[in-house]
Amino acid sequence: MSATVTAGGPSVYALAAGSDIGGELYERELVRRLPGHGVRVVIGMPAGHGLEPLPGLRPVILPRPSGLHWTWAPLVFVPWTLALVLGGRADVLRAPSVRYTGPSLLAVRALCGRRRAPVAIHHHHFEPRWRGLEAWILRRADVVLTVSEHSRAELVSAGVDPARITIAYNGIDGPADADPAPPQTWPADGLRLLHLGRLEDRKRPELAVRTLAALHRAGHRASLVLAGEGPARDGLQATAAELGVGDRVRLLGRVSDARKWSLYDGAQLLLFGSTIEGFGLVVAEAQSRGLPAVAARGTATAEALRDGETGLLADPTPEAFAAAAIELLDPSRRARMGGSAREFAARFTWDACAAGVAGALRAAAGAR
């Protein structure tokens, strides 16, 4: 390995363990491992970020108002990052967020010159509302780091130079053993369904509730646990009551990392209806625990399972999801899928992710 390079830049993430936000989990696991692949990391972070200093990793408190909107972020991020570059403390600038940190780093590169400060931006998926702006930012990056072939295809269709894109799949870092959540965690008998993730429209938790209702109407016993917090919580409770399955739905709120893994181990089927994903980390985590999944067809999540072998892809409608769940009512079929899922998920490691990202950062620094 050649000499260590330093990647610097501001971050908007709080990286304490147990976050239910996929971008925070990705960033936390990535920056902890980059030093092992020859990349020293300097991050300007908000107070209370929750990330402990490690060899080769230095979080720096970057004073800024709480709730800073992305449109005002350059007022704080540009001066700090400019000082970082002019002080010779960064070989390459790294943006964990397209809108929040990307524009600031592009501005610093313009002030310093491309050879002095190449910019690498992480991209998971486009936010529909800001797709045009995010594409404009990403087209101007020296390196775009993404997490799936699906996401790469979206970038290319948005005009990003394919030669500048590097794919590094997300990893999985679960415990070797966990105490499975007991069956009584689920509020009723029958198939134990799980939805895990932020309770927001983008993640489509309502699809899980409506799938349960469709199973109930078809005469199949099941109950659903939703783990996660978010603005859709009250609406989900109301929807479950309206559909006549209020007593078969339990909302746990935000759960600890240990509880998350125990839920994977105690559930019998994961429902994942999100159609806006860069990868589908929840599905990959479930696969690593031998938990079959029903996930939305036509999304990046297709790369986190093997359709028909480790789980099923279905159109994101209650009827299609329920039909897929009915196919997996047979315990022996779920068991076969679970064994295949564990084998399939073994390819997703955070160390491999960090190695791919580090290679792209080192190449960008060496090409200055």
Task: At 117, list the tokens.
Answer: 């400060």
- pLDDT at position 19: 58
Task: At 328, list the tokens.
Answer: 């997996």
What's this model's pTM, rounded to 2 decimal places? 0.87
Same domain for 354 and 333: no
Render 2-54 in DSSP notation, one character per residue: ---EEEEEE------TT---HHHHHHHHHHHHGGGGTEEEEEEE-TT--PPPB
Same domain for 129 and 66: yes
**Dihedral class, residue 166 (left if φ above 0, else alpha if ψ from -120 to 50, else beta):** beta
- pLDDT at position 72: 86
Say if CB 93 and CB 8 are below 8 A apart. yes
- pLDDT at position 140: 97
- pLDDT at position 55: 79
Q: Per DSSP, what are the bridge partners of residue 271?
A: 294
Same domain for 293 and 166: no
In one-letter notation, the amino acid at residue 146 is T
CA 142, CA 93: separation in Å to the nearest integer?
A: 10
Say if CB 21 and CB 123 are below 8 A apart. no
The domain tally of the chain equals 2
In one-letter notation, the amino acid at residue 353 is C
> Is residue 176 included in any domain, yes or no?
no
Same domain for 298 and 261: yes
Give the position of tokens 């029903």. Answer: 294
CA 190 to chain centre: 30
Same domain for 191 and 142: no
Instruction: Give per-10-residue mean pLDDT for the chain (368 aa).
Output: 82 67 83 93 79 78 71 89 93 94 96 87 93 97 96 97 96 87 96 95 95 98 96 94 97 91 97 92 95 95 95 97 98 96 95 96 85
Same domain for 358 and 320: no
- pLDDT at position 175: 87
Same domain for 230 and 250: yes
Instruction: Give the contacts of 103 (CB within 8 A, at least 6 positions apart).
Output: 73, 74, 137
> Is residue 54 included in any domain, yes or no?
yes
Buried b / exposed e along 307-319 (16+ C-beta atoms within 10 A): eeebbbbbebebe
> Is residue 178 included in any domain, yes or no?
no
How far the first Cα of the chain sits from its last, in Å, is: 18
Same domain for 85 and 155: yes
- pLDDT at position 71: 84
Sheet of 222-227, strand order: 249-253, 222-227, 191-196, 269-272, 293-296, 311-314
Residue 298 burial class via C-beta count within 10 angstroms: exposed 0-12, middle 13-18, buried 19 and up: exposed
The CATH number assigned to the domain holding 49 equals 3.40.50.2000
Residue 153's domain comprises 5-171+349-366
